Structure 1
Amino acid sequence: MAGIYPLNGSLQYYAWGGNQYLPDFLHITKTQAHYAEYWLGAHPSAPSQLITADGELSLLDFLQQNPTALGTQSRQLFGDNLPYLLKILDVANPLSIQLHPTKKQAEIGFAQENAAGIALNDPKRTYKDDNHKPEMMIALSNFWLLHGFKCRADILDTLRQRPSLAELATKLASQSLADFYADIMLAKQEQLAQWLLPIIDAQQKAYEQNQLAMQNPDYWVLYTLHAMKISRDKLDAGLMSFYMFNIVNLQVGEGIFQAAGVPHAYLRGQNIELMACSDNVIRGGLTPKHVDIEQLLKIIDCSEIVPQIIAPAPQNQVYTYPTPIADFALSNMPYAKNTEISDRTLNGTILLVMAGEMTLEARQQKLTLKQGQAAFIEADTDYRVYGMQEGYAVLAGLPI
């Protein structure tokens, strides 16, 4: 039985995606306007394709036929399903304000929507599966995102610095963050206009002349307004998130972990994302997709958060990033030309070449992989990587 297989992922063409990064990374000809995400995994909505001696087979079907390829540890914890999903993202325009449910919340929500007869592909569907979706990301470029509520004192400062938001500072002083956020997300259009239009009008010129710092929430309000073509008479409550959430800037190689319930939004840049195998997203604005404020307010984590930045991987060694959960682990594998790395998988593993070229050998099999190409390595496989051209790969698996 072969231990390694070439693996082809699935592209997602969401409107917020860029148009060049992923076609260049994958060395493919552009046929779409937007290339947002490249998925490697076995999620039922877009499983990757395995290349076998008998032709192509979805990774989902392969694992159903060969569950031992997942490994004993993986099967004990997660059954006969690949527990993670690996992605490359190109964020050209801001993503929706969003969060992900806990496992229990996902199971309840999925069952309720099934019982209500809402089709899985219905745009108004909130729960696409019964799994949680903790996720980590590593920046491939200068990357900007929103991540969790700032500490209360910082939110108060931010509001007081803007005359049209000063009344909100007074309100927050006597309210919990959860109640305060709920009131804002449920605010009517006239109220949003009173808060936001004075800021938009005052900062428009500075924004157009590139005079606003990117750490300034006003910059992102103006940027999002333009990027998403939001009109002045249809303001989105999600714009207020820029004044309440941490605006985080990651340098290349740095990362962050998003736990269940923590509100976040990717704003700009490219990244590697590794998550539990789920597509459950509860959205709170800044999107043409289904927004479910009721569910959002039920499960949002309103804790004050100081973002914990994951440090870049050390150079010249295989390194596994720390994560606080059992569903996945991401490893960084740099290789130089004419160098060899040997290792053994305990669980089903996906390897993706990010730069350079390598050969991957196992059990009398040999694959040559270039940037953008991937392989699935079965559990309990001794394998060797040989550097053909200097570069690095990432490996998705489980924590050991």
Structure 2
Amino acid sequence: MPHQQAVTIRAALPPARVGDVREVLAEAHRDGTVGELFPFGQIEGTHFARLVVVPEGPDVKGDTMPPAVVYMGEVDAPADAHLADLVRKAGAGLEKVFRYCDGYPAGASPKAQLAWLRAHCVPSAAYYVNTVGRGLQQIVREAQLREAIETFLDEHRADFSTADPTHIRAAIQEYVSGREDLAWARTPSAPPALRWRLRQAAHAVAVPLAGLVLLPFLVIAVPVWAVLLRRHERRDVPSSERPSREHERELAAYEDYVAQNPFTAIGRIKPGRFRRTTLAVILFAVDYGVRHVFKRGNLAGVKTIHFARWLFIDGKRRVIFASNYDGSLESYMDDFIDKVAWGLNAVFSNGLGYPRTRWLVLDGAKDELAFKHYLRCHQLPTQVWYSAYDDLTAHNLESNARIRAGLFGKLDPAETAAWLALI
């Protein structure tokens, strides 16, 4: 079973061509031709994919940061195979968008196109996966298994109306065993490759060991950092900007079509090396946490996110945050504010205009209205977005996995009743 990876391609776009690209993306969404222009569903192992236009903007020194086209995919490893398949099956659509970008080899061979995409890949500073190792094939199969079992139970509702849970489970086992297309369900899901798991284990140990080595330095550095932090926080000026009605209407045009939604936002990092360094360290810690702690469907209490990533662009002058989540944006923001406001503050308080914080993690997002205005103002329209399982929530995926795991496993009567309640 593969692990999951984030693929990000970012290419600078001449300001005069922003309208052209936005129109290509808007037309694909408007005419329902996203799947024709960008057949992500044919690209093996693609969970989610999106194309967005990042606007130009001044940095804190007044220099202009160029607009860009950004492609993001959440895919089963290896990422390089995804890029190659992307060129083979969506090369024409990609060319229709990226041909406006600086240095794009228009009309080039697939090999040259692939080399250009590789050269414009951007690494994530932190990357969250809801459940590490749950590949696309597993998700699709487990959804089919649940549907097959539900259909079987519906067809035999009268027979099972008075049966005990153990008898019903035995009947389901017999039914599944008799279907060749469900033979895979008789075995547990496989973990990711051993080599990858060994690398993860090494990373999990190496980072704390490095922290122990640096402990004498940190004992001195952290108090100094805390003093500097409070100085910066006292000088911070929160933004009073509110999202315009036009901006909100444009965002809403690309939201709430299915069970999930995409979120894409960009922000400028506050001026000075202190804030850039602080954010880099915080995201390093976030990446460690989501790789080794929050990797089983629970991001510090938030259970509705499928994937999320943070990445620097423009020489670490701007940062992009992108996620795929269940439900509406309002419920998504409320979930974060209620359960992990401190985490929001630790990351986003390094962004220009964020609501005022204390000691990095206090206040900030607790000013609910100011925080929501801040996010909405920095949110980008996700004009092209794809989900391989847009009718399944993160809760559905977990339930389906538990149904598969408990189908032939050893369960006592109480566990069997609980298992049946999942269906």
TM-score scaled to structure 1, two decimals? 0.25
Please identify which structure carries the higher helix content.
2
TM-score, L = length of structure 2: 0.24
Which structure has greater strand proportion?
1
